[in-house]
């Protein structure tokens, strides 16, 4: 039996990578998904791929007006939402001396501020008994070279989740964190790794993993389905690491 029948979900950064995999998995489980992304062509391609139960909204999550538009669309078209996934994120791998104020702001605006105000603005239209999932990273707890700012931004949303889990308890809205380890998605190319070097880079990272490989986006998506569904009905305020055990080494 499908786990998200007739549910309405919002997935930010849902046009590629882990977000797209989550949107696809939610739809497979019976949900309708609003995919939020910054690039119109990517959002259009994603919704075309996902099919008629996907609705695209183009907007930058760093702009608070985007979150108002998301809430308005959900209210007007569906009467409310059941699941909100704050997944959009950016990572600039830099040593601390190289970080500019602009680099710092870019990561905190997209990773932390956007998650906070995205949840704030969706709260009035999120149905009681719903679920909020915040995509963090093992970098928030495991020290990785060049990740200081990114780690700080992700640690912030983990603190948000713990607070919201209690703030929203009377509405039975569960708030949880999904923390991926290294995952095979297009974001690897966005980190500045040349296409010709990607196979070697992935092999190097995989060699550090207890399972000897990177995660697949679908594996993160299945974890998101669990957190969004009744299977996790008594789970709130947790951080679910889907990292193949790399945070242990």
Instruction: Select which of 3, 7, 150, 169 is catalytic.
Output: 150
Q: Indicate if the alpha-carbon torsion angle 47, 225, 203, 111 is positive or negative.
A: positive
| C-alpha distances in Å from residue 119, one per residue of 1, 105, 163, 186 | 29, 20, 12, 26
Told to judge if 150 belongs to the known catalytic residues of this protein, a careful annotator would answer yes
* Dihedral, CA of residue 185, residue 190, residue 194 and residue 196, to nearest 10: 20
| Catalytic member of 7, 154, 169, 190 | 154
Annotated catalytic, 142?
no
Give the residue carrying structure tokens 């939610």: 26
**Angstrom distance (rounded) from CA 34 to CA 36:** 6
DSSP state of 214: P
Separation of alpha carbons 172 and 47, rounded Å: 30
Tokens of 160: 């948000």
Calculate the alpha carbon distances from 15 to 34, 237, 243 in Å. 10, 26, 22
Q: Where do runs of H (alpha helix) occur along 15-113?
A: 17-28, 40-50, 64-78, 101-108
- Show which residues are catalytic: 150, 154
């Amino acid at each position: 039996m499908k786990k998200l029948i007739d549910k309405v979900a919002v997935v930010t950064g849902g046009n590629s990578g882990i977000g797209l995999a989550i949107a696809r998995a939610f739809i497979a489980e019976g949900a309708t998904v609003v995919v939020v992304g910054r690039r119109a062509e990517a959002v259009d391609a994603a919704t075309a791929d996902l099919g008629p139960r996907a609705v695209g909204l183009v907007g930058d999550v760093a702009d608070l007006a985007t979150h108002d538009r998301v809430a308005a669309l959900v209210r007007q078209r569906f009467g409310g939402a059941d699941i909100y996934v704050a997944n959009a994120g950016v990572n600039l791998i830099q040593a601390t001396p190289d970080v500019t104020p602009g680099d710092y702001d870019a990561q905190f605006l997209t990773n932390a501020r956007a998650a906070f105000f995205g949840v704030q603005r969706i709260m009035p239209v999120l149905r009681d008994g719903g679920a909020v999932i915040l995509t963090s990273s093992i970098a928030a707890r495991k020290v990785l070279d060049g990740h200081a700012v990114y780690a700080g931004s992700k640690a912030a949303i983990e603190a948000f989740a713990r607070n919201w889990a209690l703030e929203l308890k009377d509405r039975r809205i569960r708030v949880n964190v999904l923390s991926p380890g290294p995952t095979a998605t297009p974001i690897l190319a966005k980190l500045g790794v040349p296409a010709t070097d990607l196979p070697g880079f992935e092999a190097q990272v995989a060699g550090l993993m207890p399972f000897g490989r990177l995660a697949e986006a679908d594996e993160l998506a299945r974890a998101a389905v669990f957190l969004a569904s009744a299977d996790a009905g008594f789970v709130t305020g947790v951080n679910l690491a889907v990292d193949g055990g790399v945070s242990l080494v």
